[in-house]
Amino acid sequence: MSINQNIKPITTKVNEKGNLEIGGCDLIELADKYSTPLYVLDEATLRGIAREYKKAFSRLETVNMMFASKALMTSAVAKILSDEGFGFDVVSGGEIYTVKNAGVDMKKTTFNGNNKTPDELNMALELNVGRVSVDNFLELALLNEIAKSKNVVQKILLRITPGIECHTHEYIQTGHLDSKFGFDLTQLDEAIELILDEYKNLELMGLHAHIGSQIFETQVYYDEIGVILKEIKRIKDKFNIELKEINAGGGLGVTYTDEDCPPSVETIANVIIDSIEKHCSEYNLEKPVLYIEPGRSIVATAGVSLYTVGSSKQVPNGRKYIAVDGGMADNPRPSMYGAKYYAQIANKKDENEMKKVTVAGRFCESGDILIKDIELNNPQEGDILCVYNTGAYGYSMSSNYNCVLKPAMVLVNSAQSDIIIKRQTFEQLIQNDVIPDRI
């Protein structure tokens, strides 16, 4: 089984005390030492999935693994994944700064996004970002101007809208998709003409496409590669240039609950590689350098969130609510789009009194519900709740709503725990909060 098909980190077990343990660390002891809410990241799971990806794509002569940093960007995560041979897909100046701070070779980064600012593009070129995935005509002109001012030639990809939209278990193909990202295929020739004729400080290396997130369907990847290579063949015939690089994005799904059945990393790799081989043969193209950008499937399973159970409420003839000391500010996904999670009481594995409850957050919103109608082992005030698969888009989307402090994050491995994100303080909360002298 591939790691992305697990709900729990690969080191999860029940120890002799009857408590849940991850990375050799007792979760109750972690909660006592670092307080809750607490993000916990299992290093063995993180390194394990990274190695799965590298092995799965090893049939290809040249493939560049690029972690989609938006899923979870910390200096420690960047250092670990860089050590495992990954580059980074970055989408902001902050992500660029973080990977640079972690000692990453910036040639192994791709700067992506639909509205990069002039300051961010300047920063990217100053720090020698390897590729810029250009999203639109304004960016083409701006990037060329910046590159010219620095007397450099910047290598770029053109991001395209491939006409494939994925809806987890099904997808549609259309001539044009209503998307904020990328060049429509009908705009591609104009962009290439500008690069060849006017924008002499840009070097076009290839095409970039991304088809969605939390993808369970495999055919979409096969078809996406087909669309990209068909365009490369057409460009070769029209402009007499053969682009050498393709970026297929990421999007592989993970198992949040037993209802989810994502394909394995190996399955997706085989689909992509088979499509490359088939279409390159059909179109008489050299096999391109492949970039792949997994994000969620790299970090989601490695992460859990720990909460302390507080108050409870039994609605007459209705649900029983239990409240925890976190919620929509440290994990907004359930409130934003109904994301589902699995959880367990970390300190009651020897008991066997399951009760159906709804886990509510502490924030002043009726929609602050982490998990609806889950069977938990007799949850009581003071228990520690472990919510699985929160490594992706928890910390990275967190906020200070209600002026609640952001949690700490610890990395666990071989019975050792280390802080990789410090718990926010009240002083840090208001450090940019200014009262004008005139009031």
Catalytic residue ranges: 364
Q: Cβ(302)–Cβ(80) under 8 Å?
A: no
Both tokens of 305, joined, read 């969130």
For 95, 117, 329, 400, 429, the CA distances from 426, given in Å and listed in that order, are 25, 31, 16, 11, 5
- Collapsed DSSP state (helix, strand, coil) of residue 175: coil
Q: For residues 357 and 415, what is the distance between their CA atoms, to the nearest angstrom?
A: 32
Q: For residues 271 and 290, what is the distance between their CA atoms, to the nearest angstrom?
A: 13
As a whole number of angstroms, the longest Cα–Cα distance in the chain is 73
Q: Cβ(173)–Cβ(164) under 8 Å?
A: yes
Q: What share of the chain is helix, strand, coil (3-state, %, to 5)?
A: 35, 25, 40
Looking up tokens 């970055």 gives 90
Q: For the beta carbon of residue 337, count every other beta carbon within 10 angstroms.
A: 7
The DSSP bridge partners found for residue 313 are: 321
- Collapsed DSSP state (helix, strand, coil) of residue 40: strand
Q: For the beta carbon of residue 117, count every other beta carbon within 10 angstroms.
A: 12
Q: For residues 93 and 95, what is the distance between their CA atoms, to the nearest angstrom?
A: 5
Both tokens of 30, joined, read 């972690």
Residue 44 sits at the vertex; the CA angle it makes with 40 and 47, to the nearest 5 degrees, is 110
Q: How far is CA 103 from the centre of its chain?
A: 20
The DSSP bridge partners found for residue 289 are: 245
Q: How far is CA 209 from the centre of its chain?
A: 16
Q: For residues 397 and 184, what is the distance between their CA atoms, to the nearest angstrom?
A: 29
Q: Cβ(253)–Cβ(261) under 8 Å?
A: no
